[in-house]
């Protein structure tokens, strides 16, 4: 099927599983597995062997059960992916217990978005399959909703409308996910092919040199030698600053509009 999409299965079934709404039937033998264990096994397989290697057979083998046994707990692979996504969103470990300290801080929106960006980035390194799953149609599980709630709250002092605040989050999240996806793809390309990044570019070098000498690409030929020696982390840091600087323009615009009211 090559799923790799969130919300690709039976939505209401996924939601029931996410929020734990289901009564155990009284008849029949007791189940030998739990949803929790299956989801954890799936995450373990994906962490260790990559998203491409995540299969129902592999997950079952990891648990020491037959493949089809999983289908007693989960409608299919698509729904299992939804559960994995909310699972790694984890119990939000925020500790705002110290009496709402950040509320008055005027620049806190920037810190809030930067923390989110770095959190997503870190999670993508911990679970390299995460940015490879296309999160259209995100299932709203408990962990993700809690994170969203807290983040939107911290954007409140900007005075922006609900739509703008959600758009800001979309832009930051979209950017971070994109760079993270490139990053883990590069790592996995190295494992999959056994060819390092350096070796890959070295393989292109003969053709490149010939083309540079042809005079067809004068600007490329004139580029400094170390032009392409940046890491994905460099792109992340550079781009995060750019995006936040751009969002600052939006926030300041709203601030000016309010004071002139």
Contact between 246 and a copy of itself per CB under 8 A: yes
Closest contact distance (angstroms) between CB of 43 and DNA is 14
71 interacts with DNA by CB under 7 A = yes
Q: For residue 15, state whether it binds a copy of itself (rule: CB under 8 A).
A: yes
Measured CA to CA in angstroms, residue 86 lies from 9, 21, 60, 142, 178 at distances of: 15, 16, 20, 7, 19
SS3 content of the chain, % helix, strand, coil (to 5): 65, 0, 30
Number of Cβ within a 10 Å radius of residue 206: 9
Please choose, out of 56-64, 113-121, 122-130, 225-233, the segment that lies near a copy of itself by the rule CB under 8 A.
225-233
5 three-state secondary structure: strand
- Taking alpha carbons only, the member of 97, 38, 42 closest to residue 69 is 38
| Span 66-105, contacts to a copy of itself by CB under 8 A | none
Residue 74 CB, shortest distance to DNA, in Å, is: 8
User: For residues 86 and 193, what is the distance between their CA atoms, to the nearest angstrom?
Assistant: 31
Please check whether residue 85 is in contact with residue 14, taking contact to mean a CB–CB distance below 8 angstroms: no
- List the one residue from 11, 15, 33, 189 that touches DNA (CB under 7 A): 33
Please choose which of DNA, a copy of itself, none residue 92 contacts, taking the beta carbon within 5 to 8 angstroms, the exact cut-off set by kind.
Answer: none
Residues 51-70 that bind DNA (CB under 7 A): 53-58, 65-69
Q: 130 — phi, psi (to 5°)?
A: -60, -50
For DNA, the binding residue among 19, 37, 72, 214 (CB under 7 A) is 72
Regarding 217 and contact with a copy of itself (CB under 8 A), the answer is yes
Which residues inside 151-190 make contact with a copy of itself, applying CB under 8 A?
Answer: 152-153, 156, 161-163, 166-167, 170-171, 174-175, 177-179, 181-182, 185-186, 189
């Amino acid at each position: 099927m090559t799923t790799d999409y969130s919300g690709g299965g039976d939505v209401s079934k996924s939601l029931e599983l996410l929020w734990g709404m289901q009564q155990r039937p009284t008849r029949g033998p007791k189940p030998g597995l739990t949803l929790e264990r299956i989801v954890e096994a799936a995450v373990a397989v994906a962490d260790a062997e990559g998203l491409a290697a995540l299969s129902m057979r592999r997950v079952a083998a990891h648990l020491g059960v037959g493949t089809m046994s999983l289908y007693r707990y989960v409608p299919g692979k698509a729904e299992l992916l939804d559960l994995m996504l909310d699972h790694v969103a984890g119990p939000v470990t925020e500790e705002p217990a110290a009496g709402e300290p950040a509320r008055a801080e005027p620049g806190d929106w920037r810190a809030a978005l930067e923390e989110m960006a770095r959190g997503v980035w870190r999670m993508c390194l911990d679970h390299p399959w995460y940015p490879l799953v296309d999160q259209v149609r995100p299932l709203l599980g408990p962990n993700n909703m809690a994170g969203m709630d807290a983040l939107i709250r911290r954007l409140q002092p900007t005075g922006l409308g609900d739509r703008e605040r959600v758009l800001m989050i979309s832009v930051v999240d979209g950017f971070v996910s994109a760079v993270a996806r490139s990053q883990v793809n590069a790592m996995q390309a190295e494992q999959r092919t056994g060819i390092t990044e350096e070796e890959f570019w070295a393989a292109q070098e003969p053709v490149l040199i010939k083309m540079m000498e042809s005079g067809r690409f004068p600007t490329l030929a004139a580029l400094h030698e170390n032009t392409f020696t940046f890491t994905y982390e460099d792109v992340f840091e550079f781009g995060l600053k750019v995006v936040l600087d751009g969002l600052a323009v939006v926030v300041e615009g709203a601030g000016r509009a309010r004071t002139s009211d």
